[in-house]
Amino acid sequence: MGLVVKAPWPEALADLRAPESLDAFRLSLICSLSATAIAIVLGVPLAWVQARMEFRGKNLLRALTTLPMVLPPVVGGVALLLAFGRRGLVGSYLFDAYGIRLPFTTAGVILAETFVSMPFLVITVEAGLRSMNRGLEDAARTLGAHRWTVFRRVTVPLVGPSIFAGAVLCWSRALGEFGATITFAGNFPGQTQTMPLAVYLLLETRPDAAVVLSLVLVVVSLIVLVALRDRFLNVS
C-alpha cells in the first residue's frame, strides 16, 4: 500500500521504459525461470533419493540439501565464490579446462539463484513423496514396470502437485534473491543486475524509480499467487 501511495505515477511509465529497468526485468525473469528449471531437473531425483533410498550418510546429504535455506545468502555467495571463483576448487578447473567463467556472469546469477532456491523444491517434493501411497508403486512393479517406468508413469504424476508447489516456492525465492547474487555475480547492468539489485541501487540515486520497480515486483508476485490459487483449487 505504501508503495502504491508513494509511486510517482506520471513518471512511472517513463521509468519503466528506461532500458536499465527493462534489462533488469528481463534478466530477473530469465534467471529465476532457468534456476527453477535446473532445480526441478536436479531436485526431483534428489528428493526421490532422500525419500525412497536407505544408505549411509543420508542424514548428512539431507543436511547439505537444506543448508542453503538456513545460511545467510551472503555467506552462500562467499561459499560459491570459494568453490566456483577463478581460484576456487571447481572454478579453476572449469576455467583451465574449458575456459568457463561463472562469477560475475549471467550464468553465475542462475547458479546463485539455484543454490539458494532449490532446497524449497527438494523439501516440498520429498514431503509429497513421503505422503504418497507406496502401494501404488508396488502395484506398478507387479505389473512389470521397472524402476524408471514406475518413477515416470506413477510417482511423478502422483506427486505432480507437490512438484508444482515446490517449483513455485523455488521460483519466488529465486526472483527475490539478492545476497548470494550480488556477492557471487556482482551488479553489472544488463548482465547480472536483476530487479532486486536494481531496486537497491536506484534507492541511492533515484528513489522514485526504485519505488516503481518495487511495485512491478509486487504486481508480478500477486498475479502469480492469484493464478496459482485458482490452479490449486482446480486440482483439489
Partner 1 sequence: MTLRANVNLRLGTLQLALGLVAAPGEVLALLGPNGAGKTTLLRALAGLQPIEAGGIELDGVTLDSPLAGAFVPAEDRSVGVLFQDYLLFPHLSVVENVAFGLRSRGADQPLQTARLWLQVMDLDAYAAAKPAQLSGGQAQRVALARALAPAPRLLLLDEPLAALDASTKVAIRRELKKHLSLFEGICLLVTHDPVDAAALADAVLVIEDGRVVQQGKLPQITARPRSRYVADLVGVNLWRGQAVDGQVSVGVASISAADARDGDVFALVHPRAVSLYVERPDGSPRNVWRGRATSLDFAGDRVRVRVDGPVPLVAEITSAGLAELGLVGGEEVWVSFKASEVDVYSA
Task: Write down how long the chain is.
Answer: 236
Q: How far is the CB of 111 from partner 1 (least distance, A)?
A: 34
| x-or-dash string of contact with partner 1, 136-155, rule CB under 8 A | x-xxxxxxxxx--x---xx-
CA-based nearest residue to 168, from 96, 223, 88, 110:
223
> How many residues of this chain bind partner 1 (CB under 8 A)?
18
Q: How far is the CB of 236 from partner 1 (least distance, A)?
A: 13
Q: Residue 84 and residue 89: Cα distance in Å, rounded? A: 7
Stretch 110-139 residues interacting with partner 1 (CB under 8 A): 133, 135-136, 138-139
- Using CA atoms, how far residue 203 sits from 180, 188, 192, 208, in Å, is 19, 16, 18, 8
Q: Residue 81 and residue 100: Cα distance in Å, rounded? A: 14
| x-or-dash string of contact with partner 1, 160-199, rule CB under 8 A | x---------------------------------------
Of 96 and 138, nearer to partner 1 (C-beta) is: 138
Applying CB under 8 A, the residues found at the interface with partner 1 are 133, 135-136, 138-146, 149, 153-154, 157-158, 160
